[in-house]
Amino acid sequence: MPDKTTLRKLSDAVEANFEEQVRFLADIVRHPSLRGREAPLQDHMYRWFGGRGYTVDRFSIADVHWLDHPKASPMVGVDPAGSFQVVATKRCASPAGRSLIIQGHIDVVPEGPVEMWSFPPYGGTVKDGWMYGRGAHDMKSGVSAMCFAMEALRAAGFAPAADVHLQTVTEEESTGNGALATLLRGYRAEACLIPEPTGGTITRAHTGTLWFRIRVRGVPVHVAVAQSGSNAIMSGYHLIQALQEHTRQLNETAKTDKWYSGIQDPIKFNPGMIRGGDWASSTPAWCEIDCRIGLLPGQDIATQQRAVEKAVADAAKTDHFLANNPPEVQWNGFLADGYVLEPGSEAETVLAEAHRAAFGQEMSARITTAVNDTRFYGLYFDMPALCYGPKGEGAHAFDERTNLEHLKTTTLAMAAFIADWCGLQAID
């Protein structure tokens, strides 16, 4: 750990910069960086890093050979050439410490019905020590922490004694191909930290995620003779119920899982979007349902895909119409593994010490039933990947918000982590 004097300097610098950090966070929250619309915010980040002495690389997913990689997920309805990644590097002329990647995603999920928000979803409003907005918590707060942890080092008169790459990526909420693209571009380090909003806990395990679209065809007739037609929406509903039963069975087997046995129903199934039909008085001829289902660390993606397809096919056989007009399952996003950060890595030990120095208490671990990007670093590119960051509420919900006091302390913890992991060199 950095000594007391250094820690004090870092703490003073985080404090002195914090107003600016909050302004920075509000600024990036005001960019509605929804999927396919992240480029203006990535341009903003490109300029921000460029103005602070970083070497900045901006490239799109189409610029790397992502389709060749076995862990790339299909991108449907969004152009890889428009999905930009930003990597900002501070290189050390004579490295003495360990290199580090700190990565945050800047894509956000849709805000939903605006009237359910207390404040405008892209306003970055601050009230009673919280900042509100879509992405304020997941995970632009973490992005501000990584940027201002580095700012604190500089303001305190230090530079990391190893290469540090700060990365802002897209596609975390849909495929993970943004993180993958930075790795395929060639960026590596001896550890990776992803400051997702974990409330100051280390993520011990995350589940995987599969996305798929079910397409059902029906026969349109006048509703007056509905019995002679087939209602695609009702057939779709039949399939949703079958997948709920499939999920129930998966959660039975999860009861003996090493990491997830203590969590009630860790496999989450969600029919998230439904479209279908053309007219209130015609039986719908089509229905599409976009779904998400989880899987446990260690479970094979292809096996879980086949199991979903079988559950849908079996349910179709019990429905007179579907038996002759089989529904289609299209894999249109996440094909993501779960990941376990095995306890005992040196990187985790250093982070735990940094957490203790900043917060004055032990860092606890959490097991999550959602996915994050650490799997790419930890599972496929062999570097310890830590998921740890600030505290907030309402991810993917209305009134999403981040706690500013906690964010400040997290920023200090990250500065202390960089100081210890990379080592420090004095700058004049």
Per CB under 5 A, which region of 19-27, 137-145, 334-342, 357-365 contacts Zn ion? 137-145
Residue 149: its H or E element: helix 140-155
Least distance from Zn ion to the Cβ atom of residue 171, Å = 11
User: With 0-12 CB in 10 A as exposed, 13-18 as middle and 19+ as buried, what is 215?
Assistant: middle
Alpha carbon 103 to its chain's center: 10
Q: Which among 156, 150, 155, 134 is positioned nearest to 195, based on CA atoms?
A: 150
Q: Considering only residues 138, 257, 290, 400, which one is a binding residue for Zn ion as defined by CB under 5 A?
A: 138
Q: Which of 102, 108, 106, 124 is nearest to 195 (CA)?
A: 102
**Residues 261-300: x where in contact with Zn ion by CB under 5 A, - otherwise, as a string:** ----------------------------------------
**Residue 105 C-beta: closest distance to Zn ion, Å:** 6
Of 134 and 246, CB closest to Zn ion: 134
First CA to last CA across the chain, in angstroms? 22
Shortest CB 68 distance to Zn ion, Å: 26
Strand partners, 55: 89
Is residue 210 within the footprint of Zn ion (CB under 5 A)? no
Q: Which of 7, 139, 159, 285 binds Zn ion (CB under 5 A)?
A: 139
Distances (CA, A) of 125 to 2, 42, 131: 35, 22, 6
Binding mask 175-204 for Zn ion (x = CB under 5 A): ---------------------x--------
Which C-beta is closer to Zn ion: that of 139 or that of 189?
139
**In the bound complex, what is the minimum distance in angstroms from residue 4's beta carbon to Zn ion?**
34
Three-class DSSP labels, 18-32: HHHHHHHHHHHHCCC
Please identify, using beta-carbon distances, which residue of 196 and 319 lies nearer to Zn ion: 196
Segment holding 365, helix H or strand E: strand 365-368
Size of the site for Zn ion (CB under 5 A): 3
The footprint of Zn ion (CB under 5 A) covers 138-139, 196
